[in-house]
Amino acid sequence: MKVAFIGLGRMGQAMVHRLLDAGHQVVVYNRSVDKLKDVLDRGAIHAPSIRNAAAQSEGLVLSMLADDKALNAVADGPEGLIANLPANGVHVAMGTHAVGTIRALAARHAQAGQSLVAAPVLGRPEAVTAGKLGIIVAGPAVAAEKARPALESIGRRLFAAGEEPGAALAVKLANNMLLACAIEAMGEAFSLVEKSGAPGALFREILVDGMFASPAYNAYSTIIADKSYDKVGFTAALALKDVSLALAAAETAAVPLPSVSVCRDRLLSAIAHGGAEKDWAIMAHEQAIASGLKG
C-alpha cells in the first residue's frame, strides 16, 4: 500500500525503514530535508509540503512528532493536514501527545469528514528497528482498520484501546508514569539500603533475581547501582514532559496521582541541579543527595 509519513526524527526514520522493508510505498515529509536522505536512498518518495504529502497519500498519513505544538502545526492552517486530506482520510498520530490535544484534534478532523487514529508506541528507535515495538491503537474502527497494515509493518503487536483516540494516550502515559514511579521507588530503596550499610550492588542482585526480574527493573537498577547517568537513554527533560502529560491527563479525568507528583518533584530537583540532559534515572541521584549521600 501507499502511505505518507510526516516527522522523520530518529523514531520516524526507523518506522519508515520498517514500512519500506515491508514493501510499502512511503511518501515522506519533514521540515528539515536533511533527515530524509537515508529513506530517500532506500526508495521513499519525497513530498515537498504537507499538502503534497496528503495529496500523494491515498488518504493515509502517519505522523511522528516531538510535541503538541509540532502536531498542531502539521494539522492546522491552509497548508495543513486537515485542509488537505481528502474526505475519509485518516491521520495516524504516533507521537506522545496530551490527551486533550488528541481529543481536540480528533474533533477537528471529524468536522472535516476525516478520522484521527492515535497510535502511540512503547519503545525507542532501537526497539522499532528490532521489530519489537508495541503500538496502542485507538480511533474509529474503519479508520483503525485502514491503518492496520502499516502499523503491523512497523510494530510487533497492536493493542486495541477502543474508538476514542484520547484513551490510547492515557494508556501510553500511564505506562510511562509507571516506569517513572519504579525508578523513583528504586532510588528511594537504594538510598535506604546504602545509608543503612548494605551495598547497592547486592540490592540490585536481589531485585533482578526475584519478584522484579523484568527489563525495566533490570535496566534501571543497573544504572542506579552503577551511577551511570551519563549514558543517556531518555533525558530527564523528556521524562518531565511525559510525567507532566500524565498529570494533565489526570487533571482532566479528575484522578489524583500522588506517586507521580513525587516523580515530578524529583525530576524538577534534578533539573534545578543541572541534570536536564542526563538519563532520567538521575532521579535516584537526586534522592541520594536529599538523603545526604552526596555533595
Active-site positions read 172
Of these, 107, 141, 142, 253, which contacts a second copy (CB under 8 A)? 253
Neighbour count for residue 124 (Cβ, 10 Å): 16
Minimum distance between the CB of residue 194 and a second copy, rounded to whole angstroms?
A: 9
User: Between 55 and 268, whose beta carbon lies closer to a second copy?
Assistant: 268
Of these, 61, 166, 229, 285, which contacts a second copy (CB under 8 A)? 166
User: Between 40 and 255, whose beta carbon lies closer to a second copy?
Assistant: 255
Of these, 22, 162, 222, 227, which contacts a second copy (CB under 8 A)? 162
From residue 167 to residue 206, what is the string marking binding to a second copy with x (rule CB under 8 A)?
xx-xx-xxx-xxx-xx-xxx-xxxxxx-xxxxx--xx-xx
Minimum distance between the CB of residue 98 and a second copy, rounded to whole angstroms?
A: 12
Minimum distance between the CB of residue 261 and a second copy, rounded to whole angstroms?
A: 4
* Residues 201 to 240 in contact with a second copy, rule: CB under 8 A: 202-203, 205-207, 209-217, 240
Under the binding rule (CB under 8 A), the answer on residue 107 touching a second copy is no
User: Between 51 and 212, whose beta carbon lies closer to a second copy?
Assistant: 212
User: Between 86 and 123, whose beta carbon lies closer to a second copy?
Assistant: 123
* Residues 142 to 161 in contact with a second copy, rule: CB under 8 A: 157, 159-161
Of these, 3, 93, 144, 271, which contacts a second copy (CB under 8 A)? 271
User: Between 60 and 177, whose beta carbon lies closer to a second copy?
Assistant: 177
Q: How many CA atoms lie within 13 A of 28 on its CB side?
A: 31
